[in-house]
Structure 1
Amino acid sequence: MSRAAAFRALHHGRAPDDPLVLPGPWDAASARVFAEAGFPALATPSAGVAASLGYADGSTPADEMFAAVARIVRAVDVPVSADVEGGYGLAPKELVERLLEAGAVGCNLEDSTGAGLKDPAEHAEWLAGVREAAGDRLFLNARIDTFVRGVDAPEAAVERAAAYVAAGADCVYPIAAPVAVLPLLRAGIRGPVNVLARPGEGPSPAVLGGLGATRVTFGPGLQRHAEQAVRENAERLAARLPR
């Protein structure tokens, strides 16, 4: 079984209280830590990788993002899915080639830009092109940005999800969906649903699974926790310096 097939299989046949939990490594060292802890797969967060490279979220050049993903993939023996934001303006074939060259088994693809939400029909057509180019070699996680763009009606997310699944998405990701609407989303969406969790806050992955999450990711949350730990250690060390 290929890594992509093994990764796809992790999303199916799961008990409601046992969602697939995918930590988000931001570099090779963090990837090794998560893999050694026993997680079966990893999913990079674009914002966390950007921070590790010294960029603001959304500002990482495509070449640097793909290179970072490749370093993470080389560091571990588990499948790695890559958050490649909106695809960096690449045509589907080139995007798929870059992901496969980096060794990724899947990708997150967003449906908004700095200007706002993309037209769902146009985005679905683009996703269909990615699916055609990838075949079964990549797991496509279609991010739905309605909730982060001020469109709070669950129906809007469900409509986009239907279009993206019909276009070939393996999973949909209504990022930042309120916990209260997760059962509505689960009831209206066909196939796996990715839910964002916040480390140390809110419901546990098991509870999110019971509410409808097939898989749970953390965005840049784990990288920011690690950065805070470094900051606190730095402050303690600085306090001991001669004055």
Structure 2
Amino acid sequence: MSDAAPPDPAAAKRAAGLAAAALVEDGMRLGLGTGSTTAFAIEAIGRRVRDEGLDVAGVPTSYDAERLARAHGVPLLALADLDLDTLPTAQAGLDLALDGADEVSPAAALIKGRGGAHVREKVVAALAARFVVLVDPSKEVERLGTTAPVPVEVLPFAEPAVLRALRGLGAEPALRMGERKDGPVVTDQGLWIVDARFPGIDDPAALGAAIGSVPGVLGHGLFVGMATDVLVGEAEGGVRHRVHQRGR
């Protein structure tokens, strides 16, 4: 029997976060994702702001990301500050978006949303010229849906109809309940989350389109063809950098 210590997930997350922060350049406008791995990146960016005088500003994807950024001294922007209506539609509003994932496939399709911020995260990721995903090795899967459910944000009124529709798509859906509160989890938009567990997902793009078309659904956690980079942190401090072509 081996006496070797098990891999440290926090060390792997920290390695990915530090590698992501190293990609940030002076003058960049950033998307700041939500979650434990991205928190390491936000902390490291704040350190660079203090130590190097790095001139950046970030759009947070949740109240939690906003709180972390303020705590670490990262200047913030709102989407309205980007003047998107003055930019050509082909021009990115953000230089770089950093975020985690619950699952990453070999083609960089993602399941996101364990933190409940996937709708805002998708808006921010779509605005970025480069969308960098930060994970530890446990998040890499051969087939989406094998370890994580697909979060679906729904209107409370529509929850019974959405559950029925998700069952029709082959899912076992369940309303996400609060762990330290009574009742459902409530998102930053004041809506509910249904976690839809599938027995593996063969065509994430088609499934995402089907879920998105259900009346009462605001958004879901399938991100397909959006990631340009995946940083996989290792417990010993190394990072594997996977580069992907957007839209595939």
With normalisation by structure 1, the TM-score equals 0.29
With normalisation by structure 2, the TM-score equals 0.29
Greater per-residue helix proportion: 1
